[in-house]
Structure 1
Amino acid sequence: MSRLPKIHARRELDPGHVFRIEQLDLEFSNGVKRTYERLESKGLGAVIVVPMRDDETVLLVREYACGLNHYETGLVKGRLEAGESILEAAQRELREEAGVAARDLVELTELSLAPGYMSHVTHVVLARDLYDSPLEGDEPEPLDVEPWPIANLRELTARPDCTEGRTIAALYIARDYLLNEKENA
């Protein structure tokens, strides 16, 4: 297995609000030297939550996606706040975006967005045994909550308003986790 490259120098290029650009001068184990740039997250990471209303139904939220300038249907998600655990962040985001809390939260895995040039990680959390527990969040408008059969993911991902990669990956990961759990029960 290859060793990690040696970092000879680091430079911050264009400090931004959410990310900073870091330039790295690297030397690989075979002696090759290269300069790479990466987006260094200023946050603590994020959570994406798969809230299961029952064994077959996931709750999705519809919210404005500024990057694409349209409304996107996907999972509850948000940044980790200082001093907050992954499961605490998942519970808070559930309450703020879907108006529910969960008695059962399980971290399934973590996803990177573009590991070749970003340091950001999103933790995938499965939420079950839901109950009403709304909490005011930072969204500029109320989010629509849409129940969806988790067995119909192909139909969901064919929609033009469900394109976000983390949502799609998390839904398939949770669906497989739940199927495996059912098979082994």
Structure 2
Amino acid sequence: MREQPLASEPLLQGHFLRVQRDTVRLPDGQHGEHGGTATREYVRHPGAAVIAALLEDGQGGWRVVLERQWRHPLGQAIIELPAGKLDPGEPPLHCAQRELREETGYTAREWAYAGLMHPTPAYSTEGIHLWFARGLTAGPRQLDAGEHLHVFTTTVPELLDWCRQGRVTDSKTLAAALWLQNYLSGAWPLDWQRDESA
């Protein structure tokens, strides 16, 4: 199944995204656009972290920290979990801690890693690391210049219902909701680690 890269051509260098076109040799070497080879256009992305931050509701349940943010390519505001791209050389946990603090003002006492997801593997290298956070403490937000978002919380059943209804369409939030549902049911355990700096 492996495609052998033959050549690579940069198409666009943006602020943090890069678009390129590769020529590859197909596995069977017989079919394709040009007799055994094909082109692949894709976006190179530095990677990101998304955070399912949980607040105890005082009744034995949890509330989830969410954001409503305008997404220009879609021309609309959508509901999603706090997230952000990795800085060069930044460990995914540090990115998750930084983005949670900057976007929501929360810091967390405990963190658990759920895994890596590839939201659009057909045309992007982006990998998003999913982290869970609990033991939250509120603080001031530190939004980037030009960043505007509304932070709010909702119950887990309401979030899951929004996913079912199609009110939540963001892929990383949908994947995290699946993880959250299975974690709370006991089916998918998480290994919580204390953040001594929090």
Q: TM-score range by the shorter chain?
A: 0.7 to 0.9
CA distance 1:141–1:94, change in 2 (3 Å) = same
Aligned 8 A contact 1:109 1:124 in 2? yes
How big is the shift at 1:116? 1.6
Indicate the residue corresponding to 1:35 in structure 2. Answer: 38
Query: Does structure 1 residue 63 correspond to structure 2 residue 69?
Result: yes
Indicate the residue corresponding to 2:93 in structure 1. Answer: 87
Indicate the residue corresponding to 1:76 in structure 2. Answer: 82
TM-score by length of 2: 0.79
4+ aligned runs moved over 6 Å, structure 1 = 181-184
How many residues in Structure 1 have an aligned counterpart in Structure 2?
180
Q: Write out per-residue CA displacement over residues 61-114 of structure 1, whole angstroms, 9 at most, x where no aligned residue.
A: 122222222222210010111242111111111111111011111121111121
Query: Does structure 1 residue 6 correspond to structure 2 residue 12?
Result: no
Aligned residue among 111, 124, 131 for 1:125: 131
Q: How far apart in 1 are the matches of 2:120 and 2:157?
A: 28
Query: Does structure 1 residue 22 correspond to structure 2 residue 20?
Result: yes
How big is the shift at 1:20? 2.3
Which consecutive residues of structure 2, in runs of 5 or more, have no partner in the other structure?
31-35, 191-198
Q: Write out per-residue CA displacement over residues 101-153 of structure 1, whole angstroms, 9 at most, x where no aligned residue.
A: 11111121111121122111111111111112334121536532222111333
How big is the shift at 1:36? 2.5
Q: Percent of counterpart pairs with the same letter?
A: 26
Indicate the residue corresponding to 2:193 in structure 1. Answer: none
Which consecutive residues of structure 1, in runs of 5 or more, have no partner in the other structure?
none
Q: Write out per-residue CA displacement over residues 26-48 of structure 1, whole angstroms, 9 at most, x where no aligned residue.
A: 223322323232323252x1011
Aligned 8 A contact 1:21 1:37 in 2? no
CA distance 1:17–1:129, change in 2 (3 Å) = same
Indicate the RMSD between aligned Cα atoms, in angstroms: 2.4
